[in-house]
Amino acid sequence: MSGLRFAVCALLLAAAVAVAAPPRTGAENESASRQTETVRERVKRKPSWLRRAAKPTPAEQLAFAKNLEQRRALRRAARAYDALVHTWPDSPEAVEAQRALAAVLERRGKTERAFNEYQYLIKHYAGLFPYDEALNRQFELAKNTARARHGRIAGFGGFSAPERAIPLFETIVANAPASPLAPQALIEIALILQANKDYEETHAVCERIQSRFHGHPIAADAAFLGAESLYRLARAYRNDTQTAEAARNALIHFLRRYPKHENANKARQYTRELDERLAAALLEQARYYDRIARHPQSAMPAYRSIIERYSDTRAAVEARSRLQALDPTSGASHDTP
């Protein structure tokens, strides 16, 4: 009886702890899931009864899998390659089987699964296969993921989700930060983020590219893309002059560094638009002090700032005229618009 009483008390205590414990937030669940997945990726495969080899040796299993692949029984071939890697993970044949598994999944159109299998190859068999080949395949698979349409059903074309490719491109950068593919992967991320109107993140990625690959030709594209993202952010928040000023500065910096870039004219157009907007905002301040507060002396610095910083704008015309009226000795009327 005492044993039964002890068991009941233990159950009640466990229930109380469960009730008292605060529920996990969505972020905590997501973090735990990521950690589990990371552990799963890092652990080397082991023999499993679910993935039993059909043959008694790795060499025979490899020949068996290759035969299935040659006969275009790709699903069965993938299972056979996978069984070899699980059953004999440290055998020389496991390296070839892992490469073949990734390639077969790619042929079957299993883009993200194929990417993960190449990643397993890179993590656990480094130095035993052509590294650049696997990295190039990952890059192509990441691009395919960005372009793919998901959820296709009869009569429904599915939906695009290019953001699913972002962690794949980030993996490529982590795998080979000095590779020529690293800046290309980052610019692909920036393009996806911009297409999703995540302009702040786009700008952050472009800053990474310019910082890490400042001598690379792609740095010029990143400079424009980052400046354009700030410009679009400024357009989304019309009353935010600070963001507009940051966008203008980024565009001017881009034009100074890359005046002959293919997007230079577009950058000049953006700059002119921001100049008009910022000058108009400054003119409104000047008008307030000049005409509403009836303190024209306080408006004069704003008029001068418009003329100095935004000389080619419509606001500058009014600023020159008004400044000349307030201070005939200023010479504002002689400034070239």
What tokens does 113 get?
């699964």
Give me the CATH number covering residue 217.
Answer: 1.25.40.10
Q: Report CA torsion sign: 293, 294, 298, 300.
A: positive
Q: Is the pLDDT of residue 20 over 70?
A: no
- Cα 270 from Cα 283, distance rounded (Å): 20
Overall domain count for the chain: 3
Mean pLDDT of 89-95: 96
133 vs 295, which has greater pLDDT?
133
Same domain (yes/no): 47, 76: yes
pTM for the model stands at: 0.78
184: which residues sit within 8 A by CB, 6+ positions away? Answer: 139, 218
Average pLDDT in the 182-205 region?
97
**Of 5-14, 101-110, 259-268, 310-319, the least confident:** 5-14
CB 319 within 8 A of CB 306: yes
Q: What is the pLDDT of residue 150?
A: 59
pLDDT level of residue 330 (50, 70, 90 thresholds): low
**140 plus 238 within the same structural domain:** yes
- Domain coverage including residue 178: 130-148+162-262
d(CA 148, CA 160): 6
Same domain flag for 194 and 225: yes
**pLDDT tens digits, 234-262:** 999 988 999 999 999 999 999 999 999 99
DSSP string, 32-64: HHHHHHHHHHHSPP---GGG--SSSSHHHHHHH
Q: Is residue 115 part of a domain?
A: yes
Does residue 95 sit in the same domain as residue 180?
no
Q: What's the whole-number average pLDDT of the chain?
A: 85
Q: Say what the pLDDT of residue 266 is.
A: 98
Q: Does position 301 have pLDDT exceeding 60, yes or no?
A: yes
Q: 16: pLDDT confidence band, cut at 50, 70 and 90?
A: very low
